[in-house]
């Protein structure tokens, strides 16, 4: 059944595939990436309030657009979890926001209404993981602590 959410997911997935293909042929041109803000995980409806994908790898100057696929979500950078000199962001609820990270490193972000419930994500800009240990030391409430730990462990491997 084609629902608004399934359509949005398919559209974002095809855009992501197209952007990867474009990145390979555009000789360094910026690429656009999408991150959906969802009420439930596309593959497991029991996992509530998620960013999809939760981890995204981009190059400096690429664009990352946060798409409010379901209502009630926003995106905000997490203080202490973005590289020195990087621009923080904080969207309003249900706002489609595009950021263009230029400073290499790890960027942690969250949905303010669902932060304690674990709605968090990570952007890796370039190949610089040197701040990983410092980013791991950031403090989080509730389920966000476990959610960030799980995401950051994936970067460690």
pLDDT, tens digit, 9 for 90 and up, residues 73-113: 999 999 999 999 999 999 999 999 999 999 999 999 999 99
pLDDT band at 1 (very low <50, low <70, confident <90, very high): very low
State yes or no: cis peptide before 53, omega within 30 of 0: yes
Mean pLDDT of 117-141: 96
What the block records as the tokens of 73 is: 């979500």
Residues linked to residue 77 through DSSP beta bridges, in sequence order: 109
Mean pLDDT of 53-72: 97
Distance, in Å, from the CA atom of 146 to the CA atom of 3, rounded to the nearest integer, reads 31
User: What is the pLDDT, as a whole number, of residue 43?
Assistant: 87
| pTM of this prediction exceeds 0.85 | no
Q: Are 147 and 81 in contact (CB under 8 A)?
A: no
The DSSP line for 109-125 is EE-GGGTTTT-EEEEEE
């Amino acid at each position: 059944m084609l629902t608004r959410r399934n359509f949005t997911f398919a559209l974002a997935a095809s855009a992501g595939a197209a952007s990867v293909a474009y990145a390979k042929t555009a000789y360094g041109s910026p690429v656009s990436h999408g991150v959906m803000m969802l009420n439930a995980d596309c593959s497991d409806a029991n996992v509530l309030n998620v960013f999809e994908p939760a981890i995204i790898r981009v190059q400096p100057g690429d664009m990352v657009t946060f798409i409010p696929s379901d209502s009630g979500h926003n995106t905000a950078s997490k203080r202490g979890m973005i590289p020195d000199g990087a621009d923080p962001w904080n969207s309003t609820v249900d706002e489609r926001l595009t950021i263009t990270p230029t400073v290499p490193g790890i960027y942690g972000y969250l949905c303010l209404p669902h932060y304690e419930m674990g709605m968090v994500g990570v952007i890796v800009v370039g190949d610089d993981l040197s701040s990983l240990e410092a980013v791991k030391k950031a403090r989080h409430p509730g389920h966000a602590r476990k959610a960030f730990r799980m995401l950051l462990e994936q970067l460690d491997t």
